Amino acid sequence: MAVSLVLASQSPRRHELLKQIGVAHSQQPVDIDETPHVGELADDYVVRMAVEKARAAYKGEQVVLASDTCGVLDGEILLKPVDKQDAMAMWQRMAGRDHDILTSICVISGQGEHWRLCRSTVRFRAFDRALFERYWQTGEPHDKAGGYAIQGLGAVLVANMQGSYSSVMGLPLFETAELLQQAGVPVWQEGQ
């Protein structure tokens, strides 16, 4: 009998990434407070978010996978922009520079809680206000950590990247597959 996997997210990107590696799953969005604690380091924040999301969805009978992603520039956590002005200020600071994208995953099963943290580095292109204005108008950056989607229209903002592309998208597939297999969830399932 196949192990039932719950993805504690409503993200279509994470759903598609799991499908890409043939993992059958259902989705169960969770609602938690995602406010960083005062003085909390980005690494600690993103791990805490993935763990709290997984715990919120875990009912004791299935395997739960949760993930969280944030950007980091000069030690500051880059969350989803609150408005256009916030996005523009963020992009201007990131332009022509490297920033880190941290993604943490947490798997909870009858075997316990296990998590991983992945770090990738992205360099943005030089700031072109007209281009960034047009990008904001697409609506794509409104709900993205760091204010862009590397897998979408935001790809033209990225000059280069080091690390895991799928992690920057929100779910590091290598690490996810390892944790899921340890919990008894196979990859490359029939019918996926």
Looking up tokens 């993930």 gives 67
For residue 189, is it within any domain?
no
In a domain, 141, yes or no: yes
Q: Quote the DSSP letter at residue 95.
A: B
Average pLDDT for 121-134 = 94
Segments forming the whole domain that contains residue 26: 5-182
Measure the CA angle with vertex 97, ends 87 and 135; round to 5°.
35
Is 86 in the active site?
A: no
Answer yes or no: is 119 within a domain. yes
Q: How many domains does the chain have?
A: 1
pLDDT of 161 > 70? The answer is yes
Active-site hit among 31, 44, 68, 143: 68
Q: Is residue 188 part of a domain?
A: no
Q: What average pLDDT score do residues 42-69 get?
A: 96
The letter for the amino acid at 24 is: A
DSSP code of residue 36: P
Q: What is the CATH number of the domain that holds 154?
A: 3.90.950.10
For range 76-81, the mean pLDDT: 91
pLDDT of residue 191: 63
Looking at the domain assignment, is residue 117 inside a domain?
yes
Q: What's at 67, amino acid-wise?
A: S
pTM across the whole model:
0.93
Instruction: Kindly state whether residue 29 falls inside one of the protein's structural domains.
Output: yes
Band (pLDDT 50/70/90 cuts) for residue 1 is very low
The Cα–Cα gap between 77 and 70 comes to 7
